[in-house]
Amino acid sequence: MINQPKLQAVIFDVDGTLLDSVDDHAKAWVDAFHEYGHRVCFEAVRRQIGKGGDQLMPVFMTREEIDDYGEALDRERGRIMKDRYLPLIKPFRAVRALLERVRADGKQIALASSATRDDLTAYKRIANIEDLVDVETSSDDAERSKPCPDIFQAALGRLSGIRPERILAVGDTAYDAEAAAKAGIRTVGLLCGGWSASDLKLAGCIAVYKDPADLLAHYGDSPLA
């Protein structure tokens, strides 16, 4: 059996991984699309959550439409999210306890989210993990969002020179696993964002758990240990 290098850091996605927010983000996108005359299916949009707007909008809009009003639509989506849906977002069970366990093991904690920096600040407060995060990266730190590796590469640059093989990512979508893999990082998948275990494993997740509480309950036998 080949021994894995000692783990030194864990990078967590936020939406759908730590926060029960995927439906809310999808609703905000649907509302914004509708305001600009695009009748899109909620389920189709939900499947794209985990990407940033730069990767999501081309699924539903032409290049010309994006050039014409894509930035305005994205700003409107952000306003709708804050005004209508942000107050509804809750963390999944045992989020803080899971991160406390990671910290107790002497590992650094990073967040790698497709959200903006301002939104990420709000999400940390909702999850009650502001004091547990060592490093964070957002869409403001990356030219391209997931499934491109930019956000994870930015996190690597802030993790004090820790090599990718000594880091694990935890995410809820195939986009997390694909982006992390491109940065040389292995991923543990969670089902609470709505993706199936088979889809997450196909995308490269080395293990899959139901949610943060399930990962914490099996922590000693998980790749995080």
Return the pLDDT at 177.
97
Neighbouring-strand partners of residue 109: 10
Q: Residue 189 is which amino acid? A: G
Parallel, antiparallel, or unpaired: how do β-strands 207-209 and 19-20 relate?
unpaired
User: pLDDT tens, 1-11?
Assistant: 456 679 999 99
Task: Give pLDDT tens digits for 169-193.
Answer: 999 999 999 999 999 999 999 999 9
> What is the model's pLDDT at position 1?
40
HEC letters along the chain = CCCCCCCCEEEECCECCCEECHHHHHHHHHHHHHHCCCCCCHHHHHCCECECHHHHHHHHCCHHHHHHHHHHHHHHHHHHHHHHHHHHCEECCCHHHHHHHHHHCCCEEEEECCCCHHHHHHHHHHHCCHHHCCEEECHHHCCCCCCCCHHHHHHHHHCCCCCHHHEEEEECCHHHHHHHHHCCCEEEEEHHHCCCHHHHHHCCCCEEECCHHHHHHCHHHCCCC
If you average pLDDT over every residue of the chain, what do you get?
A: 95
Looking at residue 12, what is its pLDDT? 98
User: Following CA atoms 77, 52, 115, 204 in sequence, which dihedral angle do they give, to the nearest 10 degrees?
Assistant: 140
- Tens of pLDDT, residue by residue over 46-105, are 999 999 899 999 999 999 999 999 999 999 999 999 999 999 999 999 999 999 999 999
